[in-house]
Structure 1
């Protein structure tokens, strides 16, 4: 049985968000990997999101799934952030062998963590070190390059998928960073309780933030996800 893995990146991001895990799997298998870029997304300097809607991104994921399914017998779907929500959308509509949800944005914006991040940025500002704050650079860029209309479409992706998440039954591995300032930490438990899969596993990265594939402990959970995917 041949296996394919479809990786779906997050809102206003690109394949780089899931590339470390894709590289890890590619180095250890002969599986066929697919990492599409949603319309308007890509590397930071390539963002051009105005005019694109939730339906564009969801349909592009469906097309990517169908194209991959033509080449392999079984498809695994890995989704990060908004891509995690779209991964669940695919698992509702299509046959998905296994599902991996990375910082899946079933809920979004964690006020407590966001306040902590803002406090750190304020401290850096007082020390005249704000230019060196990576988090500030990311927020500043997205405020300038991500239109409000696109953000509204992101929320529509969640709204269109949320009522049907409870119907997901395929084996699922959930990875969540405890210090995620975008997706509340409670989302992992919420999904674990909501999904109807009989095989559900959760990995909590103690110091992981939103971009979980770049967490300090990523090699550890990469291995746990890999074992989960290889199990028959």
Structure 2
């Protein structure tokens, strides 16, 4: 019988009903919906319908994550997308870190998506290649909670499975191949100091995405988890404005 895992408090998926503009808000690698819930609530307060799925294997225990693949994470994203399609005529996809990678992957498969918002997205993770080629250890120390603001913590795993590093590299490699075919409006946020995903990732996407409607905003006072950091209000306001003009 498969191991049953309990979802951590504040890691639950969320759905906030609103108007015909749906917003899919996705957390990142080893993280939880806690990192994007504030952004999601802000967007719901503007009247949008917001769905924040919990990626499979996340928000429970890192051994649960070890048993999942990048295809599972894609499926979690698509489940959220299909849920929004039930009531929304337009959908924008927002993603933090690997959530941004998944947003791009989704946009490449569903060209009807109205736009994507990417916060420190991961697309080129060659700095993890050496780790991904290892056979041990089974788990590495945590990579979460890269936040500049004092006293703010991201709800994320304290360990990262080696297997999961291999999976995120597969996802970024696959997604990088389709960026040049994505033509929807794109808003990118890039923290100038990011200890997890090199800032050149967002720059590469900005330069290679097919969209003619694209904006790159630099965040000067936040690290990787910008949705919880000092620039979170800027991220919220710019994201809401971007979505509003797509209606």
How far apart, in 2, do the equivalents of 1:224 and 1:34 lie?
19
Within 2, Cα distance between the matches of 1:55 and 1:230? 31
Q: Relative to total residues, which structure has the larger helix share, 1 or 2?
A: 1
TM-score normalised to the size of structure 1?
A: 0.81
The one-character-per-residue Cα deviations of 1:109-168 (angstroms, maximum 9, x if unpaired) are 879xxxxxxxxxxxxxxxxxxxxx989x999922xxx21011111111111211011111
Q: Pick from 164, 168, 185: which aligns with 1:150?
A: 164
Q: Runs of 5+ in structure 1 lacking a partner? A: 112-132
Q: How does 1:71-90 map to 2 (within 5 A)?
A: 71-90=87-106
The correspondence for 1:226, drawn from 209, 225, 240, is: 240
Conserved 8 A contact 1:178-1:209: yes
Q: Write the mapping of 1:56-75 to structure 2, written as runs, cut at 5 A.
A: 56-75=72-91
Larger Rg, first or second structure (1 or 2): 1
Question: How much has 1:207 moved relative to structure 2?
Answer: 2.1
For the residues of structure 2 that align with 1:78 and 1:177, how far apart are their CA atoms?
Answer: 16
Which range moved further: 215-224 or 158-167? 215-224
Deviation of 1:107 after TM superposition, in Å, equals 2.4
5+ residue gaps, structure 2, are: 1-18, 129-149
Q: For 2:42, which of 13, 16, 24 is the aligned residue? A: 24
CA contact (8 A) 2:94 2:116 kept: yes
Count of aligned positions: 206
Is the CA contact (8 Å cut-off) linking 1:110 and 1:184 kept in structure 2? Answer: no
Decide whether the 8 Å contact of 2:32 with 2:156 is kept in 1: no
Kindly indicate whether residue 177 of structure 2 is the aligned counterpart of residue 163 of structure 1: yes
Q: TM-score, normalised by structure 2?
A: 0.76
Which ranges of 4 or more aligned residues in structure 1 deviate by more than 3 Å?
108-111, 137-140
How far has the Cα of 1:63 moved from its partner? 2.1
Q: Deviations over 1:46-97 (max 9, x none)?
A: 7621211111111221122122112110111001111101100110011211
The residue correspondences of 1:14-163 to structure 2 (distance < 5 A) are 14-29=32-47, 31-42=48-59, 48-94=64-110, 95-108=112-125, 141-142=158-159, 146-163=160-177
